[in-house]
Amino acid sequence: MIIFLLSVSLFFGNFSINVENTTVYAGENVPIEIETDQTTLTHLYVDVTSGGFDDPLILFDGFDLVDGKAHLTFLAPLIPGDSVITFFNEDRTFEKVLNLKVIEESMNLPETKLIILEKRGNVLYKTPDSDIWDSLSTDTVIQEKSELLTLKDGFVHLKEPSLNIEIKVAADTQLYIKRLRVSESGDIDIEYELKKGATINKIKEILAPGSKYLVGSGSVVAGVRGTEFGFENHNGNTQIRTFEGTVYTMVNNQLFPVTAGNMFNYSSEQPRPQIQKLDKPLEEYENEIIPKKEVKTEEQPSEKQQKETKTEEQPSEKQSKTKANIGNISFGKQTKGLNSYLVYSFAPNLDFGPFGIGIGFNAYQENIDSPLYYGLPTEEASPSENILSALSINYFKLDFPAFYIRYGISPSYTKGLGLFMNNYYVPYSRVLDAELRFSNLQLGFHLPYEITSLIPFKYQQSSNIFFGYINANLNIFNAEITGIINLDKNKPKMILIKHI
């Protein structure tokens, strides 16, 4: 849908309201200019049927006209419909109305899913079109129109597989996922209803126009454009804590921006929502609402039991299986460094026993109208039109008791209890991980390099983060030492983490 921009001026005698267009998108910022030569109009109040202003106090205290002029930024509501904005003076002897039509950009996006990064305690899951609650397992794929329920000891950490969108669901929380849609180009349409409890939402994507990420609870709806925030609903009382970015919160059709470092409070018993300074940092808030991991003390088995267990665990040659899968398939927009590319990648993987291999076919375009180049995109090397350059090693694994080597799509890493590295990964890139294994000691390292072409052989650095670690089992306690090096000139050179 295309909207032709034009300047609209509504004249009411010697009072004018100027807007670019009276048809706007949901969630759009709409500049409004007001001019008058009536010297008696120095302060006006405003009512809106739906929406708000970048300064939320305008809805309660009004605004001043300086030299007969005022510049306002109207925040279109998150839900399509009609919005009526009424300007008036204190005794209502003056009143003018601006009508806006709020529309939603039509997007037919494919359904996506949420994967589970971590699960603790008891979590229940209800699939679409089902009335039965089942126990949630870590390999469950969360679908659109499904429902989650964490019990008193439950917690689950969810993530959209291809984008930096994460949801941490606290204990004693129930939520219903209304829409779960993402395109390969990064368009997003995600919405869920928080029936009770608390969630922490991290959206590190800059949402494109028309995209939306909404969290609702009764009469309160929160929408974001890239932020990190907590959302709570306890017995009809709603709290929103903004740790990063801005959360646009709509209650009773009025929209309030809650910026970083602030929190929003609302209950049906109070007519006016409250916006105040944040009461606690993110780390403290997470520790309060997320149950701690249980440390179980198990009895040491006897020597006879250990021998029997080892005998049972020894795999026979007949039990060794070969596993094949289609591996990584990617057709869509990817960002490498500062540039974006249209990448086409097909990499079937073959695993048999401790050995795994995946030969990939890769090609890309700089944009939809540019030529097709072979290999993986790189900022340094020249594009190749040789089809042999499309061949590359996309996956390689050796997993033995004495050592482990894996090259492939970057997994997530957490080091130092998540204080220095929490679910870190390199998007759309391959990395090399290796580990030497001794009886009570493991030495490992992470190298962010990927092979872009086999013929001719080319490789590139995929990230600035390098790290290595030592894990030691000292019987009495376990010790972990991790060293992280960041080659980015604007970041610290090295961090050493010791965890016991």
What integer pLDDT is reported at residue 323 of this predicted model?
47
Place of tokens 């005794």: 91
CA dihedral for 394, 378, 410, 143, sign (positive or negative) = negative
Spatial contact of 364 and 398, defined as CB atoms under 8 Å apart: no
Average pLDDT, the chain: 81
Question: So where are the chain's domains?
Answer: 8-103, 115-289, 320-499
CB burial of residue 256 (10 Å; 0-12, 13-18, 19+): buried
DSSP 8-state class, residue 60: H
What is the Cα–Cα distance from 442 to 460, expressed in whole angstroms? 28
pLDDT tens-digit map of 186-223:
788 899 999 999 999 998 766 666 678 999 988 788 88
What integer pLDDT is reported at residue 489 of this predicted model?
66
pLDDT tens-digit map of 240-282:
999 998 898 998 888 899 998 999 999 878 768 889 999 999 9
What integer pLDDT is reported at residue 281 of this predicted model?
92
Query: Please, where are the H alpha helices in 398-460?
Result: none
Residues in the chain: 500
What integer pLDDT is reported at residue 352 of this predicted model?
80
Tokens (6 digits) for 238? 């709603």
Q: Which residue has the higher pLDDT, 148 or 422?
A: 148
Q: Say whether pTM exceeds 0.85.
A: no
Q: Is residue 133's pLDDT more than 80?
A: yes
Which percentage of the chain shows pLDDT scores above 90? 34
Spatial contact of 456 and 389, defined as CB atoms under 8 Å apart: yes
- Range of weakest confidence among 302-306, 312-316, 375-379: 312-316
Spatial contact of 360 and 328, defined as CB atoms under 8 Å apart: yes
Q: Which CATH architecture has domain 115-289?
A: Sandwich (2.60)
Q: Among 46, 37, 32, 43, which Cα is nearest to 13's?
A: 37
Q: Which residue spans within 284-384 are E strands per DSSP? A: 322-336, 339-352, 355-365, 373-374
8-103 to CATH, choices 2.60.40.10, 3.30.1390.10, 3.30.70.1070, 3.40.50.1370:
2.60.40.10
First to last CA, the chain: 58
What integer pLDDT is reported at residue 317 of this predicted model?
40
What integer pLDDT is reported at residue 313 of this predicted model?
44
Q: Among 224, 225, 230, which Cα is nearest to 242's?
A: 230
SS percent in the chain: helix, strand, coil, step 5: 5, 55, 40
pLDDT tens-digit map of 442-490:
899 999 998 877 777 888 888 888 989 898 877 666 778 888 888 876 6
pLDDT tens-digit map of 11-37:
445 889 999 999 998 888 899 999 998
Q: Which residue has the higher pLDDT, 269 or 43?
A: 43
Q: Is residue 300's pLDDT more than 60?
A: no
pLDDT tens-digit map of 75-106:
998 888 999 999 999 999 999 999 999 988 76
Q: Is residue 384's pLDDT more than 70?
A: yes
Tokens (6 digits) for 267? 């209950």
pLDDT tens-digit map of 313-343:
444 443 444 444 444 555 566 666 667 777 7
SS3 430: strand
